[in-house]
Structures are given as structure tokens and as C-alpha cells.
């Protein structure tokens, strides 16, 4: 059970293992899809139906030697996660999820700061990249407040591949956001 103090205690971080896959799928789905996601502010439920990820996709990230899936825990419970992928001179940030009941508590800021620290320390990269659905203005503004900049570089949404969801509109695309890690 979450208490006021457990909502504010700093999380611990570790790299995910295959044993974490079911809990991580549940976390990511709850943060982005369906009615449960509406408890937080990062929902994509108005843009996409269907799944956000699946066990196969999460397992692929966990077992990829060029990736790390960071897990944030508090009191032994998984409360947030993010994917990092080493791509040469930069790292890619994705699969970012915070338990909906904890969104808005500052946990996301802590997770992204740890992801940036990890990418610099483990891989020596100087830049973080991510793609965000361009229609997610509030989310993009949140990333801009963390130092990410919009590039205007767009890539298409994978229409027809339901592994990424069932679009509710026909104009979805991703925008590349970049941050210098210094």
C-alpha cells in the first residue's frame, strides 16, 4: 500500500532481467493504454487503442546487449521503467513508464535523470535521443523543461502493425527530441 512517505521516498534503480518482463508489460500498459492510464497524465488512450507493448518486445529489450531496461523500485515494487539503447555516439531513450498513481509526483524527473547519468557513465555518450508522438504537446513540453529540444525531424507511425497500438486518427507521426548530456 502506498503511503505519503512511500510516494516521496527516492526509488532504487537496477537493470531489468527476464523475470521482470510480466511486471514491466503491466506497468507500461497501465501508463499508456485503457482506462487505468487515465489516472495519470501520460495516457495515449485518446490517440491509440490496443497494446503499447508485449512480453516479446520487452524481453527483446532486456536481452539485447546494446540495451538496458532500467527499473525503478520503491519498497520492493516496480514503479517506473525506461529503455536505454546504445547507438554509437548517442543513446536512445524509450519505453518510459511511471505508475499512473505516481505521475505528477516528480518520479519521472528522477527516472530521466538516472537514465541520463547511466548513459553517460556506462556508454560515455554525449547525447540522448527519443521519439515522441508529435500530437503529444503536453508531454513534449515536459521533455523540453528537462532540456530536450524539438528537431522537427519526423518519422512515420507504424500504421498496420498492431504491436504498437491501433491508431484512432490518421495523422500520427513521431518527432525526434535531442538533449546534449555534457
DSSP 34-50: TGGGGGSS---TTTEES
**Residue 110: CATH number of its domain:** 3.40.630.30
DSSP 97-116: EE-GGGTTTTHHHHHHHHHH
pLDDT digits (tens, 9 = 90+) for 80-123: 999 999 999 999 999 999 999 999 999 999 999 999 999 999 99
Residue with cell 520487452: 58
Whether 18 is covered by a domain: the verdict is yes
Query: HSE of 125 in the Cβ direction (CA atoms, 13 Å)?
Result: 24
Whether 59 is covered by a domain: the verdict is yes
Whether 154 is covered by a domain: the verdict is no
Residue with cell 510516494: 7
Residues 80/91, Cβ–Cβ less than 8 Å: no
Whether 163 is covered by a domain: the verdict is no
> What's the total number of domains in the chain?
1
Which of 58, 64, 68 minimizes the C-alpha distance to 93?
68
Burial of 169 (0-12, 13-18, 19+ CB in 10 A): exposed
SS3 call for 53: coil
The per-residue pLDDT of the chain, averaged, comes to 89
- What is the domain extent for residue 20? 4-129
Residue with cell 560515455: 124
Q: Kindly tell me the number of DSSP H helices and DSSP E strands found in the chain.
A: 5, 9
- Label the pairing between strands 90-98 and 127-133: parallel
Residue with cell 513521431: 174
Query: HSE of 47 in the Cβ direction (CA atoms, 13 Å)?
Result: 19
pLDDT digits (tens, 9 = 90+) for 132-160: 999 999 999 999 999 999 999 999 988 88
Looking at the predicted structure, is the pLDDT value of residue 6 above 50?
no
- pTM of the entire structure? 0.89
Amino acid at each position: 500500500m502506498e503511503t505519503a512517505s512511500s510516494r516521496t521516498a527516492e526509488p532504487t534503480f537496477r537493470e531489468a532481467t527476464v523475470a521482470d518482463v510480466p511486471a514491466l508489460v503491466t506497468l507500461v500498459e497501465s501508463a499508456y493504454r485503457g482506462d487505468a492510464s487515465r489516472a495519470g497524465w501520460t495516457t495515449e488512450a485518446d490517440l491509440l487503442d490496443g497494446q503499447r507493448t508485449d512480453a516479446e518486445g520487452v524481453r527483446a529489450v532486456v536481452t539485447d546487449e546494446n540495451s538496458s531496461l532500467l527499473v525503478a523500485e520503491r519498497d520492493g515494487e516496480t514503479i517506473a521503467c525506461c529503455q536505454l539503447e546504445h547507438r554509437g555516439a548517442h543513446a536512445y531513450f524509450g519505453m518510459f513508464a511511471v505508475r499512473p498513481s505516481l505521475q505528477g509526483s516528480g518520479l519521472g524527473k528522477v527516472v530521466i535523470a538516472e537514465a541520463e547519468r547511466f548513459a553517460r557513465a556506462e556508454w560515455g555518450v554525449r547525447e540522448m535521443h527519443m521519439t515522441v508522438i508529435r500530437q503529444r504537446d503536453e508531454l513534449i513540453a515536459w521533455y523540453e523543461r528537462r532540456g530536450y529540444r524539438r528537431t522537427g525531424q519526423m518519422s512515420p507511425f507504424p500504421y498496420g502493425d498492431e504491436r504498437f497500438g491501433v491508431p484512432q486518427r490518421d495523422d500520427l507521426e513521431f518527432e525526434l527530441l535531442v538533449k546534449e548530456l555534457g
